[in-house]
Structure 1
Amino acid sequence: MLGIGLGFSQTAAPPLTTEIAHPKHRGQITALFQAIWYWGAILSACITLVTPESPRWLVSKGRTDEALNMLAKYHANGDINDELVRFEFSEIREAISREREASKTTGFLSFFETRGNRHRLLICLLVGFMIQWAGNGIVSYYLAPILESVGVTSAVSQAAINVGLQVWNALLAAAGAVAAERYGRRPLWMISACGMLVSFIIVTALSAVFAEKHIDAAGSAVVAFLFIFFGFYDIAFTPLSIAYPVEILPFRLRSKGLSISLTVVFGAGFFNQYVNPVALGAIHWKFYFVYIGTLTAMIFIIYFVSLDIPAGCRHTDAWVVVSRDQGPHAGRNCYRV
């Protein structure tokens, strides 16, 4: 699917470049289109060259000195004897040793071996589904027809709203990523889902008012509540969609669990992309009731199924707790292993 998308862009972009270029520069600009690819490759190579390897990966490959130096450089200003660095290093080595023994029998079937792993698998599946079926998919993919349905028909106005919405999303998603560490994951999930449900109910009601009575103010209010809806989505569903599955999974299942979650994401997104426009075109705002139902279900799912990762202790085998009474790292902290 990625290859098909790349083919579309490579087919469309060069003619567009040629058609909008000034005739005097058209030949050079069109030729530079493909030549600039190397600058992207250079940037990618440089980023790869100067960024550190994961200390867990280094330990798993027997490159323990490099792992220790990496931890010291980024966690203790280069001091390899720092208490935190030594603690992290020893815990990583122990975890990798245990995981190496377990990996001899580790596969996707390992998710079914214990109750805890089955619970984690369920969360990975649900997260992948929820981040696509919270109502965001229909608004993200079909913002223009939604805006047209509430009276915003100008292409310029639609584009301006889209730009503003993306800036709003970027700011709120960053705020949610920061807040997750301070307030905990589960509370953010709950606040996000409840806020989206209330917002989407209001969007549905306002859309119905505009469709039935053609009150312009109702259409304008829909736009405002779409921003509010996405604000609630951004604070949890955006930053935690990757972070949460990774955090609750032990090292040996981390990559497998994330791949399962992303597979569900793509599957749910594929369904959304081809079913939503048909339903939206057929029943218009009444289709929103489907997402009111899914959001309601998500609140109960989050409440009863989610694993809390409290500020004082980050979860079982994926985290360890260390207490410090003095020094620069005094306090009760958790570190992933």
Structure 2
Amino acid sequence: MRGLQVEGKALTWAEQPSAELLEGQIRIRVKAAGLNRADLLQKAGMYPPPPGVTDVLGLECAGEVCETKGESRWNVGDRVCALLAGGGMAEEVVVDGRHALPVPDGLDWAQAAAIPEVFSTAWLNIFELGAAQPGEKILIHAGASGVGTAAIQLCKAMGNPCWVTLGSEEKLRACRELGASGGALRHDGIASLKESGPFNVALDPVGANYAKDHLDLLAGDGRWVLIGLLGGREATLDLAKILAKRIKLIGSTLRSRDADFKAELLSRMEQRLWPLFAKGELKPLMARTFPFEDAESAFAELASDKVIGKIILVNQ
């Protein structure tokens, strides 16, 4: 089977041996795969897969179950979407059966492939690690990204007013339409959001550039959940503010979590969120789809930083 890998700085579709199916795993015939900023980082040599994980790109996919082994909730022909540590941009992928969820009714393959990585990231970091309670205010950086647009929808569904930071008025309008209460453009600085705060939880993929402002924007007992370093890795902080406000700084990555953690997370998500997908209260925001063969264009589109929502590769 073919899988998308990096050779030098270029993408290439290369023949891969089909992975052996182990107990509890399923084989998925991939119909669509989500593209994430982590894939851009891996392509640039900055985010290698965890030990033992395939070099094939792709952290989420949707497709048909074509083989199972051992006890499983899945049958051949089932429509599933899956959270992966790698390997989604391929003709087929093998995954722990517990890391797959049914495709919500009414969604096509591309929409289904846009769910697992971004909704699990947003849910885990705002509502589980960030422990957001109904009515608490949420600050979402990179609000027009895949994770950001998922987070806005989750906040709306759970009764949490949210504000965003992003790069353009067009993106801000789109986020308001999804349910954001307001926002700030990053080139203007984010300190203006102080009037809308204080915020109880901050979802932060930026890091250093925004670090100092968080200490003023967060409420007492605020939770600052750091999930990326797009704005740098080194910052100088006034620790007295962290102490006085009892701010919790939580570092969080999902890709390297163990299999049981991911399985339990997805089980909780299915119980809480899948009924909302069925009602149409949650729906992935699609920016554009590309055929598998045009992966380079898809990666370039995401790297342009003009995307609102998700880019998906479709196996036509």
Same-fold status (TM-score > 0.5): no
Larger relative contact order (C-alpha < 8 A, sep ≥ 6)? 1
Q: TM-score, normalising length from structure 1?
A: 0.21
TM-score, scaled relative to structure 2? 0.22
Which of the pair has more CA radius of gyration? 1
Task: Compare the two structures and name the one with the higher strand fraction.
Answer: 2
